Each structure stands twice: as C-alpha cells, then as structure tokens.
A and B are shown apart, each in its own frame.
Chain A
Amino acid sequence: MSDLPNALKSIVTPVRLEYDHSAGAAATGFLRGLTQKKILGARTGPGEPVLVPPRGADPRTSELAAELVEVSDKGTVVTYSIVRVPSDNIPFELPYVCATVLLDGANLGFFHVLQNCALDEVRIGMRVQAHWAPDDQLTENVSSIRYFEPIDEPDVPFEQIEEYA
C-alpha cells in the first residue's frame, strides 16, 4: 500500500465519550472519610486484614469487605520510584517520588506521592505522614491527601515490611 501515489497517511477522528461512574459501596465509605481527614479501610470482619483503599472484596477470599475501619494517616514506605516522565494528567513537578505506603493499621500498601523529601534521602522503611488539603478543599477524591511527607521517626527494618514490598 505504501507505494500508492498521494496515499492518505493519517486522518484524525476526535473521540469524546462521557461516563457516569458509580463509586460503589466500599469506595463510597473511603471517599466520604477523606472529607473528614480520615483514612478508612475495609475488612470482611474482625481480625481480618484491613484493605486500603477498599476494593469491595478481600481478593484472597472474594468475601465482601464491607466493615469500615479507620487507619492512621502515618505509615512506612515499602517501595518507591522516582518519576521523571512527563504526562498531561499528572499534577506534580518532575522529578517526584511515588511510593507504596503501608499505613499503620492497614494490611495493604497504599499508592501515592512523596513530597518535601530530598531525592537521595528516599528509602525503603522511612516513616511518612499524609499532608491533607486545606479543610475547605477536602473532597471525595484521593487528592484530598495532597501527598505524603517524611516525619521524624526511626526507620522500620525491611524484614518487618518485606511481606508488603
């Protein structure tokens, strides 16, 4: 085909579709909690692992995880990456650190961004805390936690968090 004279190489068809999503029961509780500066996880019952953010079901058992449990907004970095790739829908200045944070009281890593931290100081095991949006900007969106930042607490040894890394 490439030897066609004056071949039309490309046309542009803009596609715009609007969707009206449902958060679902589990995520609704989590998102409402954010408006009150609370991080709520979910579990299938007492003594069971706390999933943050809630996923609707405990993936190991596929049991409905409907019981909401508040966890701390402090946690430990279990792994991280320094991102230097630009993208239109990312609101952070490059480079920035994304990290999996194991919140105190949770049993699942929570993915977010680290700020106020020198790039060469980021490490697995470091302690961090959520930095919340101003009260009048708290919404039903994960961006109500603007980012996580380091706090002055001793590192957690890798062996204690390895299971979540």
Chain B
Amino acid sequence: MRDVAIVSFAQSNAAREDRNEVEILLPVVKAAVASSQLERSEIGFTCSGSSDFLQGQPFAFVMALDGVGAWPPIKESHVEMDGAWALYEAWVKIQTGEVDSALVYAFGKTSSGDLAEVQALQLDPYCVTQLWPDADSVAGIQARLYMERAGRSERDLAEVAARSLRDAQSNPHAVAKGDRDAEKLLAEPYRTSPLRDHDCPANSDGATAIVVMAGERAKTLCERPVWIRGFDHRIDPPALGARDLTRAPSAEIAAARAGVGDDKVDLAELSAPYTHQELILREALGLADDVRINPSGGTLCAHTMMSCGLNRIGDAAQRIAAGEGDRAVAHASQGHCLQQNMVCVLEGE
C-alpha cells in the first residue's frame, strides 16, 4: 500500500445557508487547495459525495463542477454517499499508482427539506416507506433496544450530549453548543422516546474539502502530515429486523481490518448522529475508556448530511496535525441505525 497523507482540510457548517451549493462549496474548496500548497492543476484526481434527495432535484452534483476548478477537464468521480466514501475512492485511485494526489469534497443542505422525513425514503420501498417512519423514530427504536441490552440509562445518553455540546463550544463550525449538564437535559421533554432533542442531530448546511497526497511529497506540503494507516468500510443488511440493532457488526469488521486495536488510540471522531449511537460505536470499535471522543462536538452538533463523515476525518486529522495526539480513529456512517460504517486510522508523522 502507498502511504497517503491528509495535507489540508476546510469546512463550512451553518444551521441554514442562504447561499446555493456552488456558493457554499467554492470558498471551502479554494481554502483546502490553497492550504495544500498545491496548484489546482497539480491535483491528480477529484472525487465528491452528495445526495440528490437532499437537494430535491436530480444531478445536484453537476452544478458543483462550476465551483471546483473543472476546466481544463479533470479526472473526476462522484459517489452518492457521504464524502468519506469519496475519500476512499480517491485513496483507491492513488493506490493504483495512476495519480499521487486528490481533492475530495462533499456538501449537503439539510435545511432545504424535512430531513427526518426525506430519510424515510431510504427504507424498504415496498413494505416500510408507506408508513413514513421518520429518522428520529427509527433511531428511537434502536436506542430503546440498545439501552435494554447494554443496561444503559437515559442519563448515559444525556452525558454524551452534555459532553458533546460542551466540546462544541470551542468549535466555530458546530451549530449546536452550550454548557448544560445532564441533569438539565433530562428535564426536557421527549422527542421520540427515549430520545430527547439533545439526543438527535443538529442538522446543518455546509461543505467539507480535503486534499490528500501520497508519499514523500506530502512531507513537503505541511509541517506534520497525517497518514492514513488503515481504511476499511462495510455494510449490514437493511431490514431493521434482520440485524442486531444494538450492535454495529459492519463497524466491528471495518475497525478490525483498519487495525484500530493495533496500537493506542488518542482520540476518535465518530459520526454518530444520535447519542446512543456513539455508545454502540465505542463498543464496536473497541475504544478504551481513556480515548477522547468527538472533541469537535461530532455529528450530533453539526449534522451536515453527506459531508459530516468526511468532516469527522478532517476534524481528527486536524487535531493530529496540531499535535493533540499521535493516533486517531475517524468514523463515518450511512443509512438508518448505523447500517454502513467506515473506519479510518490516522497517524501523525
């Protein structure tokens, strides 16, 4: 495998954007390219992630080409997935030896539609979607099962929220933040019991961009390149009754294959839109109690669907680059109840 490093990262997240997708994306891509020290024309491959259903129109990603430097023509691809998978495709492309570097970006405007309702269209179209179960209700079913199996309480979930909101205070890109203890949060009413508002993601609009570079050259582009040491992703069956919702088997496989347990982990950025999912993931990834979880506030505090997974990878890389740790685990997920999971192990030079 070729060594590939994350050499730059930029993001934009806001509760509601009045700019269109191109206008949101353009400065983010520009910032990532500028801080990579590379000329746009030097970057070998471009890959992006987004979803038409968020935009409510087909080919939502085509317009984005206006803002990302696609002239003269570029080697480019797009996944209808979270941008973390676009990064994976770019990493694969670098492994083939055809290119040495890539620009990866993702964007999403969750505020355009009713996100929890839009996500009902991800379920079984013949037998489940007709009921229009919104995403929060489906997550509530998973939370109830998980608490029962793991002996966890609503207080445990509230502790996750309180810590995330507190950490988000130092993250200018988080859209939910604050200093409220679990006691206070538990006094709030339920949204979809056992979940309260603070257990559910703070939806946001935004974009994320990352530049990766292979080999020695990465060392010349930044002070401390952050190397991708393990990268794997897996999927579980879709039917909510066909798998154990209290676990994330696909995350377990991905973590094992990415080598999470091979060495000490300093920090982890987990894409858990709901509080209980963070607890499921800690277990699935085998993270020790002393691992710092979601210092950014995580996806719970800025749920820009389609870019939040890539954002986790960027957030983790940024902290390693800044010397806050030497080894990090970044995670992305997709689908209801953590159906599809990706694990990326990052190490500082």
Residues of A within 8 A of B (CB): 11, 13, 15, 17-27, 55-62, 64
Q: Hey, what's the 0/1 contact readout for B50-74 against A, CB within 8 Å counting as 1?
A: 0001011000000101111111000
Q: Which of B30-83 contact A (CB under 8 A)?
A: 30, 40, 53, 55-56, 63, 65-71
Q: Which of B53, B66, B125 contacts A59 (CB 8 A)?
A: B66
Q: Which of A13, A15, A18, A57 contacts B67 (CB 8 A)?
A: A57
A-B residue pairs in contact (CB < 8 Å), sample of 5? A17-B114, A18-B113, A24-B18, A24-B22, A56-B66
Known: A11-B126, A17-B118, A19-B56. A62 touches B29 (CB 8 A): yes
Q: B117 contacts the other chain (Cβ, under 8 Å)?
A: yes
What is the bound-complex CA distance between A17 and B134, given in angstroms?
13
Known: A19-B112, A20-B112. A56 touches B71 (CB 8 A): no
Q: Which of B102-147 contact A (CB under 8 A)?
A: 109, 111-114, 117-118, 121, 125-126, 129-130
What is the bound-complex CA distance between A57 and B55, given in angstroms?
19
> Would A25 and B56 count as touching, CB distance under 8 A?
no
What is the bound-complex CA distance between A114 and B113, given in angstroms?
35
What is the bound-complex CA distance between A131 and B174, given in angstroms?
48
Q: Which residues of B contact A62 (CB under 8 A)?
A: 26, 29-30, 40, 66-70
What is the bound-complex CA distance between A56 and B65, given in angstroms?
11
Q: B23 contacts the other chain (Cβ, under 8 Å)?
A: yes
Known: A17-B118, A18-B113, A25-B23. A59 touches B130 (CB 8 A): no
Known: A13-B125, A17-B118. A60 touches B56 (CB 8 A): no
Q: Which of B27, B30, B66, B114 has the most CB of A within 10 A?
A: B66
> Would B130 and A13 count as touching, CB distance under 8 A?
yes
What is the bound-complex CA distance between A13 and B69, given in angstroms?
41
> Would B20 and A23 count as touching, CB distance under 8 A?
yes
9 smallest A-B Cβ distances: which pairs?
A24-B20, A19-B56, A56-B22, A59-B66, A60-B71, A62-B69, A57-B67, A19-B112, A57-B66
Across the interface, name the chain A residue whose C-beta is closest to B53.
A17
Known: A11-B126, A59-B66. A22 touches B71 (CB 8 A): no
What 11 additional pairs, Cβ within 8 angstroms, besides A23-B20, A57-B22, A57-B66?
A19-B112, A25-B23, A55-B22, A56-B20, A56-B22, A56-B26, A57-B67, A58-B66, A59-B66, A61-B69, A62-B40
Q: Which residues of B contact A18 (CB under 8 A)?
A: 113-114
Q: B17 contacts the other chain (Cβ, under 8 Å)?
A: yes
> Would A26 and B23 count as touching, CB distance under 8 A?
yes
> Would B71 and A59 count as touching, CB distance under 8 A?
yes
What is the bound-complex CA distance between A59 and B62, given in angstroms?
11
What is the bound-complex CA distance between A57 and B69, given in angstroms?
10
What is the bound-complex CA distance between A165 and B40, given in angstroms?
29
Please give the distance in Å from A163's CB to the nearest CB on chain B. 15
> Would A17 and B113 count as touching, CB distance under 8 A?
yes
Q: Which residues of B contact A23 (CB under 8 A)?
A: 20
> Would B114 and A27 count as touching, CB distance under 8 A?
no
> Would B19 and A25 count as touching, CB distance under 8 A?
yes
> Would B112 and A21 count as touching, CB distance under 8 A?
yes
What is the bound-complex CA distance between A58 and B66, given in angstroms?
7
Q: Which residues of A contact B20 (CB under 8 A)?
A: 21-27, 56
Q: Which residues of B contact A57 (CB under 8 A)?
A: 22-23, 26, 66-67
What is the bound-complex CA distance between A18 and B18, given in angstroms?
17
Q: Which residues of B contact A19 (CB under 8 A)?
A: 55-56, 112-113
Please give the distance in Å from A118's CB to the nearest CB on chain B. 35
> Would B70 and A21 count as touching, CB distance under 8 A?
no
What is the bound-complex CA distance between A24 and B21, given in angstroms?
8
What is the bound-complex CA distance between A6 and B111, given in angstroms?
44
Across the interface, name the chain B residue whose C-beta is closest to A59.
B66
Across the interface, name the chain B residue whose C-beta is closest to A8.
B126
Q: Which residues of A contact B30 (CB under 8 A)?
A: 62
Across the interface, name the chain A residue whose C-beta is closest to B113.
A19
Q: Which residues of A contact B27 (CB under 8 A)?
A: 64
Q: Which of B22, B71, B117 has the most CB of A within 10 A?
A: B22
Please give the distance in Å from A32's CB to the nearest CB on chain B. 14
